[in-house]
């Protein structure tokens, strides 16, 4: 394990606010990342989540004979209780699973669709030109519960009652709120605390729980129990569905019982690109995963290793590659049941070669076109688990905008998501709103294969930061030689202001947000290239990863310093 210098330790303490988690740095002489800790190594199984109690639940499930998927579901249920600022059963889910028996990599899109009544005409008739971020209107069908049961039906071993039992127990008996989550809970009150059911669920004593305070959610315990004993139909066709329907009708929302009853997840084939010998996999749209592949394809044309980690040359190239990928993201990414998204073309090497020509090495771009690819601040949780048989799951789940819409129905103990905010209200746009359509999605799991064998299951939560983060992690490992922990701890950038799938356009080049440990010389060099720099605003994501070492027969686990998380094995 590398020693962290006193100067970096001081920096970590100083710059932990407002995110309330430490910010990593790098050696300014060698450019080498300074890890917050060594990697975790274990032979029988591994779990990495953003909450230590959830990680321990996953390990307990593995020890009880559960599969990687069983443990992932158990951890996700716990996070819905313990980290409601990032996820919950009112939201959506995506996963990539490696099946060691069949040697198959599969993907699950468990995102929900817009209510049938959510049409472009509905918003136009009411003079609404942008779907609001909170309240009843941005609520789409929550897909997470169906996602659990789809995953469990194919890869589960233990009964769902056993899988959900730890979360149910913590919901009833209480758990101590961790530091980062206490901070984000307090921020949620001003945004959504006024909606019926929210305060009753999360502020039973009149205020949000503080760090270290024991918090209970008996409403969620009852909901989990109903799901565990009666199955997924209880959520989509039973009493839970009816309570959601009644609540949404009272609030003037569009989500109905029929919308819930019609929901079904979709199994999809992950797509990939090869980056210097590693096959990096993402899920196809309606998510933004292929943006990471597009960024990597563009970066592959440069000698990134020679540029050096933290150099202005590298960061400039990374930002410009991101801008190009996000222009395509704004134009093309949408529900593929409604739009013919040219995925193969977008992630091809030839297309990247064409797009790369638009990058100037001496000037930041202010505005860029989307490519001709025609065939003619949200938060999230990410977790990954691997079991003794070699199965691995990469799972991401979210409500969007932290706790979601604020709609907290029927004493059920959770908030409904506001993912439909991401629809465009522009006729002809690929992501234009339509009843039954899945909105553009930010949450993306990732996976790496090498020579046809599983290597790394990883992800990085945080809205539009995610594809940028995926690319930075891969580059850190391949081009800069970092290990699994270093790659996530290393200082990151987050470029904002690109064109968006909601219809907004980049006109001024956007803003490059940099973690504070990047040096002043690098910042000045980026400014001289025409980049506008923002402050370290805490929106740099949260990374978890597991790597399989076939030669030694062991797993490596990593959980970065910016969250409350933990990687653990047995």
Q: Identify which of 101, 100, 79 has the alpha carbon closest to the alpha carbon of residue 90.
A: 79
Q: Identify which of 434, 413, 142, 115 has the alpha carbon closest to the alpha carbon of residue 249.
A: 115
Residue 473 banded pLDDT, cuts 50, 70, 90: very high
* Number of neighbouring beta carbons within 10 Å of residue 124: 12
Length reported for the chain: 570
Is 299:317 a contact under the CB 8 Å cutoff?
yes
The predicted structure's pLDDT at residue 27: 57
With a cut of 80, say whether residue 549 has pLDDT above it: yes
Q: What is the mean pLDDT of residues 493-515?
A: 90
DSSP state of 368: -
Is 159:67 a contact under the CB 8 Å cutoff?
no
Q: What is the mean pLDDT of residues 393-412?
A: 94
Cis status, amide bond into 128, omega within 30 of 0: no
Is 433:425 a contact under the CB 8 Å cutoff?
yes
The predicted structure's pLDDT at residue 33: 54
Residue 541 banded pLDDT, cuts 50, 70, 90: confident
pTM for this predicted structure: 0.93
In angstroms, the first-to-last Cα distance of the chain is 20
User: Cα separation of 83 and 244, whole Å?
Assistant: 21
Give residues with Cβ within 8 angstroms of 238, minimum separation 6.
226, 230
Residue 387 banded pLDDT, cuts 50, 70, 90: very high
Tens-digit pLDDT profile for residues 275-309: 999 999 999 999 999 999 999 999 999 999 999 99
380 catalytic per annotation? yes
Q: What is the full DSSP assignment across 319-363? A: HHHHHHHHHHHHHH-S-TTTS---HHHHT-HHHHHHHHTT--SS-
User: Cα separation of 315 and 305, whole Å?
Assistant: 12
Q: What angle do CA 273, 279, 284 make, to 5 degrees?
A: 50
The 3-state DSSP class for residue 120 equals helix
Q: What is the mean pLDDT of residues 501-529?
A: 91
The predicted structure's pLDDT at residue 567: 97
The predicted structure's pLDDT at residue 230: 97
With a cut of 60, say whether residue 53 has pLDDT above it: yes
The 3-state DSSP class for residue 303 equals coil
Q: Which of 380, 384, 408, 517 is catalytic?
A: 380
With a cut of 50, say whether residue 146 has pLDDT above it: yes
User: Cα separation of 408 and 206, whole Å?
Assistant: 16
With a cut of 50, say whether residue 376 has pLDDT above it: no
Q: Identify which of 139, 125, 518 has the alpha carbon closest to the alpha carbon of residue 315.
A: 518
The predicted structure's pLDDT at residue 380: 80
Q: What is the mean pLDDT of residues 154-158?
A: 98
User: Cα separation of 272 and 107, whole Å?
Assistant: 12
Tens-digit pLDDT profile for residues 57-77: 999 999 999 999 999 999 999
Buried b (16+ CB within 10 A) or exposed e, 439-473: bbbbbbbbbbbeeeebbbbbbbbbbbbbbbbbbbb
């009544």: which residue's tokens?
117
Residue 14 banded pLDDT, cuts 50, 70, 90: very low
With a cut of 90, say whether residue 378 has pLDDT above it: no
Tens-digit pLDDT profile for residues 180-212: 899 989 989 989 999 999 999 999 988 999 999
Q: What is the mean pLDDT of residues 517-527?
A: 93
Rounded to 10°, the helix 160-173/52-63 angle is 150
Residue 164, token pair as written in the block = 């959900």
Question: What mean pLDDT, rounded, does the chain reach?
Answer: 91
Q: Identify which of 455, 382, 484 has the alpha carbon closest to the alpha carbon of residue 98.
A: 455
The predicted structure's pLDDT at residue 401: 87
The predicted structure's pLDDT at residue 537: 61
User: Cα separation of 121 and 513, whole Å?
Assistant: 38
With a cut of 70, say whether residue 147 has pLDDT above it: yes
Q: Identify which of 49, 82, 21, 43 has the alpha carbon closest to the alpha carbon of residue 459.
A: 49
Higher pLDDT, 24 or 455: 455
User: Cα separation of 402 and 421, whole Å?
Assistant: 13
Residue 4 banded pLDDT, cuts 50, 70, 90: very low
The predicted structure's pLDDT at residue 84: 94
Is 400:421 a contact under the CB 8 Å cutoff?
yes
Is 554:42 a contact under the CB 8 Å cutoff?
yes
With a cut of 50, say whether residue 11 has pLDDT above it: no
Domain boundaries, the chain: 49-478
User: Cα separation of 216 and 239, whole Å?
Assistant: 23
* Number of neighbouring beta carbons within 10 Å of residue 232: 20
- 7-16, 31-40, 298-307, 361-370: which has the minimum mean pLDDT? 7-16
With a cut of 60, say whether residue 24 has pLDDT above it: no
The predicted structure's pLDDT at residue 402: 85
Residue 367 banded pLDDT, cuts 50, 70, 90: confident
The predicted structure's pLDDT at residue 516: 85
Residue 524, token pair as written in the block = 């000045």
């Amino acid at each position: 394990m590398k020693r962290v210098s006193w100067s970096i330790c001081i920096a970590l303490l100083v710059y932990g606010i407002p995110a309330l988690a430490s910010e990593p740095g790098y050696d300014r002489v060698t450019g080498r990342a300074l890890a917050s800790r060594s990697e975790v190594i274990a032979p029988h199984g591994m779990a990495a989540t953003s909450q230590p109690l959830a990680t321990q639940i996953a390990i307990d499930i593995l020890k009880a004979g559960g599969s990687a998927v069983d443990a992932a579901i158990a951890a996700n249920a716990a996070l819905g209780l313990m980290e409601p600022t990032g996820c919950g059963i009112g939201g959506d889910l995506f996963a990539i699973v490696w099946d060691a028996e069949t040697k198959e990599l599969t993907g699950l899109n468990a995102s929900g669709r817009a209510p049938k009544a959510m049409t472009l005409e509905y918003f136009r008739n009411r003079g609404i030109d942008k779907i609001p971020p909170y309240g009843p209107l941005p609520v789409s069908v929550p897909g997470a519960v169906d996602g659990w049961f789809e995953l469990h039906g194919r890869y589960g071993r233990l009964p769902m009652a056993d899988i959900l039992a730890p979360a149910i127990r913590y919901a009833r008996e209480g758990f101590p709120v961790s530091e980062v989550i206490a901070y984000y809970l307090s921020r949620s009150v001003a945004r959504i605390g006024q909606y019926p059911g929210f305060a009753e669920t999360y502020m039973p004593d009149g205020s949000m729980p503080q760090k270290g305070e024991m918090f209970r959610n008996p409403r969620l315990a009852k909901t989990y129990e109903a799901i565990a004993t009666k199955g997924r139909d209880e959520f989509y066709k039973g009493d839970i569905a009816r309570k959601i329907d009644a609540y949404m009708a009272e609030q003037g929302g569009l989500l109905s019982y029929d919308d819930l009853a019609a929901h079904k997840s979709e199994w999809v084939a992950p797509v990939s690109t090869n980056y210097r010998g590693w096959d990096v996999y993402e899920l196809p749209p309606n998510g933004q995963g292929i943006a990471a592949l597009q960024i990597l394809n563009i970066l592959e044309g440069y000698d990134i290793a020679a540029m050096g980690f933290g150099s202005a040359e590298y960061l400039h190239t990374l930002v410009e590659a991101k801008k190009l990928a996000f222009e395509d993201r704004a134009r093309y990414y949408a529900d593929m049941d409604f739009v013919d998204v040219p995925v193969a073309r977008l992630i091809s090497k030839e297309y990247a070669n064409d797009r790369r020509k638009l990058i100037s090495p001496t000037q930041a771009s202010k505005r860029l076109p989307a490519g001709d690819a025609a065939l003619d601040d949200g938060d999230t949780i990410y977790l990954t688990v691997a079991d003794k048989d070699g199965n691995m799951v990469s799972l991401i789940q979210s409500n969007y905008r932290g706790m979601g819409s604020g709609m907290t129905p029927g004493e059920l103990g959770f908030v409904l998501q506001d993912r439909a905010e991401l629809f465009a209200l522009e006729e002809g746009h690929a992501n234009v709103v339509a009843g039954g359509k899945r909105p553009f999605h930010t949450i993306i799991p990732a996976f790496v294969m090498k020579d046809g064998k599983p290597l790394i299951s990883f992800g990085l939560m945080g809205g539009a930061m995610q594809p940028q983060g995926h690319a930075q992690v891969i580059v850190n490992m391949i081009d800069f030689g970092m290990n699994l922990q270093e790659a996530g701890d290393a200082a990151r950038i987050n470029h904002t202001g690109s064109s968006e799938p909601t219809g907004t356009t980049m006109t001024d080049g956007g803003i490059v947000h940099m973690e504070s440990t990047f040096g002043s010389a690098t910042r000045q060099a980026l400014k001289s290239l025409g980049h506008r720099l923002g402050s370290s605003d805490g929106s740099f994501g949260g990374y978890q990863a597991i790597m399989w070492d076939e030669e030694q027969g062991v797993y490596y686990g990593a959980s970065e310093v910016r969250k409350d998380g933990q990687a653990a094995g047995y």
